[in-house]
Structure 1
Amino acid sequence: MPSFPFTRLAAVPYAPLLVTQARRLRRDTPRLPDAALPWTGSRPGPDPLRILVLGDSTAAGVGAETQADALPGWIAHEVAERWGRGSTWRAIGANGATARDVRERFLTDAAAVPFDLALLTIGANDALGLRSRSAFTRDVRRIVLALRAAAPEAAVLVSLMPRFDRFALLPEPLRATLARHAASLDTGARLAVEGLGGVVAIPTPPPYVDGFFASDEFHPSALGYRLWARFVFDSAPGLRLDRPAG
């Protein structure tokens, strides 16, 4: 479930209304559990690709029953479909995590085990918390640089902001306010990782289809994670994973 710590709303003309809307959403939005353990798994096939999914509630698989039905499992599925390779995967993250949380709490563990492909999914909670663009941008760059240093031959895919303007559960003007701030953070983070070797910033997602969201209307469902994984690779046509790294 999203938390809504609107710490910067004093500068927003609609601050009282936005705070009221945020509190109501926090009260009324159902809190879905993380995907069931284990958060590691494998898919059979030759030359297994080592996959790391790192980030917030979407790395934790909220909205899906297991990680096999969330990003790790569907990323492995796409790797098998596109390149004919098996895979091992693991997920690290937490519901509600910001980029700072990932950098401070999870990055050391993430970088400690070898990987060939990392998907960093981060940003929604930074937008919800109205973190500054400079702070978010700095954290994303530090995370990506640390992943690159840990695995120089690996590909690092960075999936940033959802489209808050398309979230039906968000009332106005809360929806528009979050969408504007998220767009600013998204732009800053893309500029921060632009030009880094082996790094691809995934574009903002296309329109969400029926069934994309779980019952809380905020996190992806198993179908949503499947479509997301497909979109990730469709958005990185130059990515080559048909042979072992190095």
Structure 2
Amino acid sequence: MPVSSPPRVVVLIGVLVTGLGFVVGAVGGARVLLARQAATARRLIGKPLGERAPDADRVWKKSYGDPLDLLVLGDSIAAGLGAERRKDTLGGRLARGLARSLQRSVRLRTAAVVGSESSALAGQLEALPSDYAPDLAVIVVGGNDVTHRVPVATSAGHLEAAIAQLRERGAEVVVGTCPDLGALRPVPQPLRSLGSRMSRQLAAAQAAAAVRSGAHAVSLAHVVGPFFITNPEEMFSLDRFHPSALGYKRTAKALLPSMLTALGERDEVPFGHRPPAS
């Protein structure tokens, strides 16, 4: 999303007002209430962070040697927007956690682009060198699909196609499904509940597509979502939409078990994690 565009939470509010308008179009009072809620939320939302996250691409824990190649694709969360230091981005957190668990260096490449919808995954893959073959790829995408009202089946189809391409490159794949947009406190009720329902529908479709395609799926709404709901001041960054350093730490911790399982380093699948179909 360009810097000149309104903050993504404001876009979400507009989308949800439109969505609820279809449901309660005959009730003029409800529309007035929703419009007032949207105006209130806009006043509460912080300034956007821009469109660049810290560059975390490097070899982490070089002293361990024999680097494993980790690729991160998706949207602004995958890119690490909201973190102030590269080690606090999602990619930085994942690389460090994986290196410590495996006692092996991790070479991180971040292809994620701020503002991306699932349709952008194809372009992120096309931008990679043709001979690049990551050992493991992590995809986190979906929030922009919800705010831009992309049909669930269309979003899931783009994700499935990206997974297929990654598998052709020889990569194991882990998908962090769409976060629960109901955690966005600046969005008042009933708008927040509608956002939650829409994001959970997409997350379910993403999980099914991932498992069907041979990838591991992690329900971020179940595994890490409660932390964002109960501790929003700590888990969100200044824009009150993207994760803070602590938010990324929790998100990486939620993804790491499935990453290790995908690499054959762990057998059990924790709650909220779905292995590929056998």
TM-score (norm 2): 0.76
The equivalences for 1:70-85 within 5 A come to 70-85=89-104
Letter in 2 for 1:215: L
**Secondary structure at the counterpart of residue 251 of structure 2:** helix
Residue 228 of structure 1 pairs with residue 262 of structure 2: no
Structure 1 vs Structure 2 CA RMSD: 2.5
Pick from 189, 192, 201: which aligns with 2:217?
Answer: 201
The separation in 2 between residues aligned to 1:99 and 1:111, in whole angstroms, is 20
TM-score (norm 1): 0.85
Unaligned runs of 5+ in 1: none
Residue 239 of structure 1 pairs with residue 262 of structure 2: yes
Letter in 1 for 2:263: R
Which has the larger displacement, 20-29 or 72-81?
20-29
**Secondary structure at the counterpart of residue 58 of structure 1:** helix
Which has the larger displacement, 68-77 or 107-116?
107-116
Displacement of 1:241 in angstroms is 5.8
Displacement of 1:20 in angstroms is 6.3
Structure 2 counterpart of 1:115? 134
Structure 1 counterpart of 2:74? 55
The separation in 1 between residues aligned to 2:39 and 2:142, in whole angstroms, is 20
The equivalences for 1:80-159 within 5 A come to 80-103=99-122, 105-110=123-128, 112=130, 113-149=132-168, 151-152=169-170, 154-159=171-176
Give the number of equivalent residue pairs: 237
Displacement of 1:115 in angstroms is 1.0
The equivalences for 1:171-186 within 5 A come to 171-186=188-203
Q: More helix by proportion, 1 or 2?
A: 2
Letter in 2 for 1:85: R
Letter in 2 for 1:6: V
The separation in 1 between residues aligned to 2:24 and 2:206, in whole angstroms, is 26
Residue 6 of structure 1 pairs with residue 15 of structure 2: yes
The separation in 2 between residues aligned to 1:175 and 1:157, in whole angstroms, is 28
Q: What are the Cα deviations for residues 34-85 of structure 1, in whole angstroms up to 9, with x where unaligned? A: 223x352111122211111111111222101233320111111111221111
Sequence identity percentage: 29
**Secondary structure at the counterpart of residue 51 of structure 1:** strand
The separation in 1 between residues aligned to 2:34 and 2:129, in whole angstroms, is 38
| Residues 79 and 11 (structure 1), Cα distance of their counterparts in 2 relative to 1, 3 Å cut | same
Which has the larger displacement, 73-82 or 26-35?
26-35
Structure 1 counterpart of 2:268? none
Unaligned runs of 5+ in 2: 1-6, 266-278
